[in-house]
Structures are given as C-alpha cells and as structure tokens.
Amino acid sequence: MAALSKEIDIKITNAEFERFRDFFYRKTGIRFEDSKRYFVDKRLVERIKKTSSNSFRDYFTSMRFQASGEELQQLINIMTVNETYFFRESHQFDCMVEELLDEIVRTQNKTELKIWSVPSSTGEEPYSIAIYLMEKWPGINHVDVELLSSDIDSSVLEKAKAGIFNERSVQNLSPALRKKYFNKTEFGLYQATDDLRSCVHFSKVNLNEQKDMQKYRDIDLIFCRNVLIYFDDYSRRNVAEALYDALSPGGYIFLGHSESMSRISSLFKIRKFKDALAYQKPIE
C-alpha cells in the first residue's frame, strides 16, 4: 500500500491548510497569506508523497510527533525561499567599508568586530561581505573580524559551506575577483577558495526562537535583509527585539530596501549615511 500512496490524488482542504499554516507560524514566525496557497499546497503534497503517507492527516500527525524533527526541517527547507547573488544591494556594503565600520572602531576604540549575516541563504551575502572587507576596507589589517552567518534552512547552510555557485550568482563579480576568490569546476561552476570559505562561520538559527537567539551577543553589525517581510507584525516585533539584544551598544543593522525598522520598533536610532540607511542600537 505504501508504494501505491504516491499515485493517490491528494488534495489539501481549506481546514488542513489553516491547520498547517497555524502550525508553521508557531514554529517559525512565518505566516503564509492566502495568495501563497498554491505554493504551500504543492510543497505539502510533495512531502506527503515523498514520505509515503496516505493523507494530510497521516502526514501531519507523523511529522508533528517525530522525535528527531527531521521532517519538520525538510518542510522548513522547501517552504523558505532562497534566491540571492553576490554584491546584492551593494550600496550597503559600500557604506560598511567606507563609513560604518570606521565609525564603530573610532568611537568605541574596538580592536575586534563581529558581523552577522542572517539569513545566509546559499552563502552569497556572507561571502560578499568577506570579499568587501578584504578588498575595500583598510581596517582589516588592524582589526580582527569574526564573520558569522545563519539560516533556518539546513539544506542551504550545507550549500553555503560548500561554496559552489552558478554563473548567475557571480554575475556582478569582475573577472579579477572571480579568479582571485573562486576556482572554476569541471561543470562550469564557481567554488569559493578555501581561504574565502574559512572566513565565515555558518550555523542554524530560527530568528523566532529565543533559545537560538540567545547565542548571539555583542554583534557590531547585522545584515538581516529581506526576511522580516515574511513575518506578521507580532513576529516582526519579537525578532526586532531579539536583534536589538544581539547588538552591542552602538551596533548597527541593515535591512532590505523594502523593510523599515521604524515601522516595527522604536528601540533603534535611524542613521543616514552617504550610501545607505542603517538602524543603530543607542549607546547607553
């Protein structure tokens, strides 16, 4: 019967969609709007068939009570969208190396800095930060930088650690940078050099999970771009407060171009730099 279950025409009812949506929201803080119904249904049916379940009810019950949590992680992996490329929204990287980091070092007399990129996706953002630091920030010769990167999706974290990218991902990199920081594979892909990959420490994190967020403290600069748009107002406020706690006094956070911290939380001070807008944790 298990083999035949893949041929069953499985439909997700409205009640089942609501039940799953509420469950996923409680676990991740991400709420799917009705407009995402087709996207959610398609991926749910994919997992139901993949696990040889006979119905949503069987699958949902099994997934919820699975001790290892592996199937929940599989769901998170396929339900979260990961699309990015090197030097995306590069004006923020320019701001980082031309103004922001120098200000932090100067005003707080820092000899060590922590930068956190979340979500990491497949690694383009944290590796972009590393390249910018090595290529464009003279302070890298005098300041120790710890570069962290996290994601809720375990599969993209493995891809990020491997550091293998297609032509689209590296389209904004000059030939010189491609040659310096990547090795061309036999399949025409680009693999980050060992030196570049060693610059970033990857880890799994759920921004909406307090025990995960407590691991991150004394961060000087956070890149948290294009993720808050997937949360509702309540979850956004929770995440904003957790990011605030993660920052050192005087630390900064960059958001995506369509996101605004001022509409989420009053904890941060808005700072306008030449190339970008950032949100600062006030120095007490």
**Which amino acid would we find at residue 30?**
I
Q: How far apart are the first and last CA of the chain?
A: 65
Query: What does the alpha-carbon distance between residue 280 and residue 251 come to, in Å, rounded to a whole number?
Result: 6
CA 166, 28, 39 angle in degrees (round to 5)? 60
Task: State the Cα–Cα distance between residues 278 and 254, nearest whole angstrom.
Answer: 5
- Residues annotated as catalytic are 43, 151
Contact predicate 53/62, CB 8 Å: yes
The encoded tokens of residue 282 equal 């006030």
What letter would DSSP give residue 102?
Answer: H
CB neighbours (10 Å) of residue 4? 9
Q: How far apart are CA 19 and CA 15, in angstroms?
A: 6
Q: What residue type is 175 in one-letter code?
A: P
Reading the block at residue 71, the tokens are 């199937």
